[in-house]
Structure 1
Amino acid sequence: MRMLLADQGQSWKEEVVTKETWLQGPLKASCLFGQLPKLQDGDLTLYQSNAILRHLGRSFGLYGKDQREAALVDMVNDGVADLRNLCGHLIHHDCEEDKARYMRDLPEHLKPFETLLAQNQGGQAFIVGNQTPASSHLLPPTPTLQISFADYNLLDLLLTHQVLTPGCLDAFPLLSAYVARLSARPKLKAFLASPEHVNRPVFGSRKT
């Protein structure tokens, strides 16, 4: 969410909740599902990370150019969510045997994203189709690259895995180039280098 907002040139006010405040109870009780994050956008209050991402995607035109692309963006985002949940469970439940199995199977988890990139302009674009032709009677149609909210979610997950498992993308040249390409976007690059991002635990509230 922060990557998306920063890359789109948006400002936001963040309220960080300490563990002590959360354990006191009233704040948790006020949250619809008893958990954070929470987004307040005007008079709209949203919970659930992926619901917030989809809302931001719709708000900033980051949901594909048509219904077909929107469906593909949803598919990618759900795939990212599945892998994030699996990795998060292992981090929060310290079982070395399960972690070893996860590391062994990680290439199979990453392979679908490499495949999707390969199917989209040979991996030189974003994770989902990105051409919005600009027509002119003088010039031929020019494709305009358009990122989606799923790209930010996937980038965050891949950056996290590069911290947890350096070299995990070595066997995936398209994913490696994708991470480098997106991380070099000027506004996103500035955010990734900022203390706000650098000093944040790599996976939720746990320092791993």
Structure 2
Amino acid sequence: MLPSWTENQELRSMSEKPRLIYFNGRGRMESVRWLLAAARVEFEEIFLDTREQYVKLIKDGSLMFQQVPLVEIDGMKMVQTRAILSYIAGKYNLYGKDLKERAFIDMYVEGITDLMHMILMFPFSPPEAKEKNLALITERATHRYFPVFEKALKQHGQDFLVGNQVSWADIQLMEVILAVEEKTPAVLLAFPQLQVTRDLDTVLQYCFH
């Protein structure tokens, strides 16, 4: 069982683990969880169960733009998902070895983020629009985004997108593949390279060796 909000507040000064503060769900924090797991970093989570807890964070000045996710790491209170992810990727050697590799990682991540945004918004679709929106997600995945990653992996001749080691882009790619497969199980039939990437052991072995 997760510690209560009060217990977590009392333990704040005793722990050096990153602290993830968000609502009880995947949402925008899920990519942070994936990246920390890939980096083999233990973290703590605090779920905001009431509006009062969220408002308190705002009043305390913890939320720069009055939005979560919030990650407390290395003495900082970080907000904005992209900033959090890029910091973690850089800190744990998941952001390429030079500026050129980082540029490619950024491009891949931005594309993945565009597709993931559609997936995150899907549950909020009105009932009459769900079928249409699901079809759009599948169409965009199979015609716009997945072909890019399939080609990159094939040309690279490796199990990762950039350089000679796993990166932030690979981790986010695995996340979005599984998210799309939850809704369209056969979506990878035309993408053999992505089928390999979907196998977590194939890529994560480079993180956990």
CA shift, 1:55, in A, is 0.2
Q: Report percent identity of matched pairs.
A: 28
CA shift, 1:179, in A, is: 1.2
- List gaps (5 residues or longer) in structure 1: 131-145, 190-208
Q: Read off the aligned partner of 2:39 and give its amino acid letter.
A: Q
On the 8 A contact 1:37/1:47 being kept in 2, the answer is: yes
8 A contact 1:118–1:174 mirrored in 2: yes
Q: 2:166: which partner in 1?
A: 147
Q: CA deviation at 1:153?
A: 1.3
> SS of the counterpart of 1:14?
strand
> Paired residue for 1:21?
51
**What's the TM-score, normalizing by structure 1?**
0.72
- Does the alignment pair 1:167 with 2:203? no
Which of residues 159, 165, 169 in structure 2 aligns to 1:125?
159
Structure 2 partner of 1:80? 112
Contact 1:9 1:187 in 2 (8 A): no
Count of aligned residue pairs for this structure pair = 171
Tell me, which stretches of 5 or more residues in structure 2 are unaligned?
1-31
Displacement of 1:100 in angstroms is: 2.5
In the aligned structure 2, how far is the partner of 1:188 from the partner of 1:120? Answer: 19
Q: Secondary structure at the match of 1:80?
A: helix
Higher relative contact order (CA 8 A, sep 6+): 1
What is the TM-score with the length of structure 2 in the denominator? 0.72
What residue number does 1:133 align with?
none
Is residue 177 of structure 1 aligned with residue 196 of structure 2? yes
Q: Which amino acid aligns with 2:57?
A: L
Structure with the largest fraction of helix: 2
Question: Which residue identity lines up with residue 8 of structure 1 in the other structure?
Answer: A
Residues 48-103 of structure 1: CA distance to partner in whole angstroms, max 9, x if unpaired? 11211100111011111111111101111111111111222233223132332333
Aligned match of 1:137: none
